[in-house]
Amino acid sequence: MFHRFANPARFSRIAARVLPWSAAATIALFVIGIYFALFASPADFQQGETVRIMYVHVPSAWISMACYTFIAVMSAVALIWKHPLADIAARSAAPLGAGFTLIVLITGSLWGKPTWGTWWVWDARLTSVLVLFFLYLGHIALTNAFDNPQRGARAAAVLALVGFVNIPIIKFSVNWWNTLHQPASVTRLDAPAIDPAILTPLLLMALAFTFYFLTMLLVRMRADLNATRARALRLSAAE
Amino acid sequence: MIGLILLVKRELGLALRGGTDAVMAVVFFVLAAVLFPFGVGADPAMLPRIGGGIIWVVALLAAMLSLERMFSSDHEDGSLDLLYLSPVGLGTLALAKALAHWLTTGVLLLIAAPILALLYNLPASAFGALIVSMLLGTPILSLVGGIGAALTLGARRGGVLLALLILPLYIPVLIFGAGAIDGAVAGRPIGPQLMVLSGFLLAALALAPWATAAALRQAIE
Amino acid sequence: MQGLITHKLSCIRGERAVFTGLDLEIKPGRALLLSGANGSGKSSLMRVLAGLLPSAAGHIEWEGADISADPDAHRARVAYIGHADPLKPAMTATENLRFWAQLYGLDPAIEPALYQFSIEHLADVPARYFSAGQKRRLNLARLAAGQNSTAGPALWLLDEPATGLDPGAVSMLANTILAHLSNDGIAIISTHGGRLDELIADRADHFTLQTSGSGVAG
């Protein structure tokens, strides 16, 4: 019965070889990125030092959206080709995506306090991210809601695809709602006009976040595979 | 088509005989809407401003109450296996269930909504927007809700989980449904909102039964 | 005269192999009595044969053709009795039976089917007042309803059908199955032994599923 894990076993071997390198790249990128973000870039003349929150906020937002796309693609692969690795990839990515989405919300709130004077403003982007956070939570809860892990994975895959189709609709609706209800005085949380001095740390931090995401994804997938194998061994030992 | 009619007739028959679910959903709808003035005050100038939004929020919650039972009794007593083996496809089953849910919940909410509009002092000019927006919006709640009901079959904590899955997907309906009523109260044109709601309804009609069928297939396995 | 054949059929539930490499052959007019300990995969095999569960490997042939080529046609030839009785408590016996007959496009002559299992006096009683045995009889009457139709299902998959039945009802079930077999039908019946096995023994083969996942013909 281990033929089903033959391919995952190859994945485990490859992951073991890639992991040290991606972990090293993550650390190196963070060291350089944080140096540029905190010391080698200018403060904004309007927002002052708080603009540096952007170097965490914007990359997290990118990852949070890219991660949901990744989950949706993996879900389609899992449903169409029934590939066990795709299930595991989607299941492992979801909590990471939820974490990054939470970071977007928290940093957005921290950035909002000095900029807008309140912790939360129903800004169209932040509100969409909040809804995305709930989509992640639903996905995670559904994955873990069944006694049979495979049933959870497949149900969550359908949900991810439904969510993916709905994200543009939700985004459009929230934007429409926002233009109607938003007081005009509030400016959006935008990166100031892209200056090279800002672009360099932003790109470095985005790369660092991406490598961190990929490294953690590999670690989580390996752990998940090992847990699956342990369960299978325990079951076959019981027979 | 014959299968669809047969299934809807069965659902309606069961709802008429056994279920107080539908009636409870309407009672909840009215009761929950009545709670808001106690919380925010009964200022006659404010109530019409928030009324449309509150009616729609409460409608989402009321429609969700009876969703959990959509497939669960058929799942528990093995009927779902036989429905799958029958010549009627799961897509037709999903459509029939959503239609029956709308007829037993959405239509009742539609009938009760004008009473809430009176309680919230909505101007007479907003009644049309209320009825049309609910007519277009509540079938979407049943169609999209069916996906959630099928996904959570056999899950632990099914009811709470269903709310977590479905409420975020209901946000667009809420925005444009309540937006139409607000627009009518403020005397703005409401054509765009209703057009968007119609678009959502068509998309839900085309896609939701398909997704529900995929979810049901996994619940059977 | 090829009937039903399985080749190296395997089933995985969750992450566990329930059975592997199963080869079965059942000729028209024969029944297969399937035995095996709890957890040996009898119910899973029934569900795989019905097309409710996908098989992990191997294939199933009906009259020489792979059933995955036309799943709709396969579903149309299956009559499946599971552990639960798919009856709505609020509906009467007649209504329950008629709904399934109509949905499957069968002849909705309900009375003879009820008569076959001696529950014709309960025709207009809602199923919620039925005892467990009576519910099972009503569920089994679906088989009779299919049998009385012109194009009834040819493959009966009965998962412990005699559960909760009194000896009289077991005889009725045996007669129904025997009539199906004389009609060149096929029945696969999971069982833990008992009167039903004896009553249809002349037309039945035995197969025991081992917990290790394979089986022995007996």
Query: Domain residues of chain C, as ranges?
Result: 28-51+70-217
> In the structure, what pLDDT confidence band is assigned to residue C212 with cuts at 50, 70 and 90?
low
**B interface mutation test: which of A132, A165, A173, A175 has the most B CBs within 10 A?**
A173
Give mean pLDDT, residues A126-147: 94
Cβ contacts (< 8 Å) between C76 and chain B: which residues? 87
Chain C contact present for B168, CB below 8 A: no
Give the one of B14, B79, B221 whose C-beta lies nearest to C54's C-beta. Answer: B221
In angstroms, rounded to a whole number, what is the distance separating the alpha carbons of residues C166 and C2? Answer: 35
A165 burial via Cβ count (<10 Å: 0-12, 13-18, 19+): middle
Q: Do C103 and B18 touch (CB under 8 A)?
A: no
Cβ contacts (< 8 Å) between A176 and chain B: which residues? 175-176, 179, 196
**A interface mutation test: which of B169, B196, B201, B217 has the most A CBs within 10 A?**
B169
Q: Do B81 and C88 touch (CB under 8 A)?
A: no
Give mean pLDDT, residues A159-183: 86
Tokens of B155: 């899950």
Interacting residues of A79 by C-beta distance below 8 A, sequence separation 6+? A154, A157, A158, A161, B214
Q: Helix (H, G, I), strand (E, B), or coil: what is residue C148?
A: coil
> In the structure, what pLDDT confidence band is assigned to residue A143 with cuts at 50, 70 and 90?
very high
End-to-end Cα, chain B, rounded Å: 26
pLDDT score recorded for residue B187: 87
Q: Which is more confident, B113 or A124?
A: B113
Contact status, residue C38 vs residue C61, Cβ threshold 8 Å: no
Give mean pLDDT, residues A4-33: 84
pLDDT score recorded for residue B210: 95
Q: For chain B, count helices (H), then strands (E).
A: 10, 0
Cβ contacts (< 8 Å) between B215 and chain A: which residues? 155, 158
> In the structure, what pLDDT confidence band is assigned to residue A16 with cuts at 50, 70 and 90?
confident
Cβ contacts (< 8 Å) between C99 and chain B: which residues? 6, 10
pLDDT at A5 over 50: no
pLDDT at B204 over 80: yes
Q: How far C180 CA lies from chain B's nearest CA (Å)?
A: 20
How confident is the model over C99-148, as pLDDT tens digits? 999 998 887 678 888 999 999 999 999 999 999 999 999 999 998 888 87
pLDDT score recorded for residue A69: 95
In angstroms, rounded to a whole number, what is the distance separating the alpha carbons of residues C124 and C98? Answer: 12
B3 to chain C: closest CA residue: C103
Give mean pLDDT, residues B199-211: 96
Q: Do C16 and A232 touch (CB under 8 A)?
A: yes
- Enter the CATH code of domain C28-51+70-217: 3.40.50.300
Report the length, in residues, of chain C.
218
Q: Do C103 and B76 touch (CB under 8 A)?
A: no
pTM for the structure as a whole:
0.90
- What H or E segment, with its residue span, contains residue C136? helix C132-147
Interacting residues of B176 by C-beta distance below 8 A, sequence separation 6+? A173, A176, B133, B137, B193, B196, B197, B200
How confident is the model over C66-99, as pLDDT tens digits? 888 888 889 888 999 999 999 999 999 999 999 9
Task: Report how many Cβ contacts below 8 Å link chain B to chain C.
Answer: 64
- Least trusted range by pLDDT, from A151-155, A227-231, B188-192, C157-161: A227-231
How confident is the model over C47-75, as pLDDT tens digits? 999 999 988 888 899 988 888 888 888 98
Give mean pLDDT, residues B8-31: 85
**B interface mutation test: which of C88, C128, C156, C159 has the most B CBs within 10 A?**
C88
Q: Do B221 and A151 touch (CB under 8 A)?
A: yes
How confident is the model over A68-120, as pLDDT tens digits? 999 999 999 999 888 888 999 999 999 999 999 999 999 999 988 888 788 88
**What beta strand segments (E) does B1-135 contain?**
none
pLDDT score recorded for residue A231: 81
Chains that touch C (3 or more CB pairs under 8 A): A, B
Half-sphere exposure of C143 toward its Cβ, with a 13 Å CA cutoff? 30
In angstroms, rounded to a whole number, what is the distance separating the alpha carbons of residues C188 and C26? Answer: 9
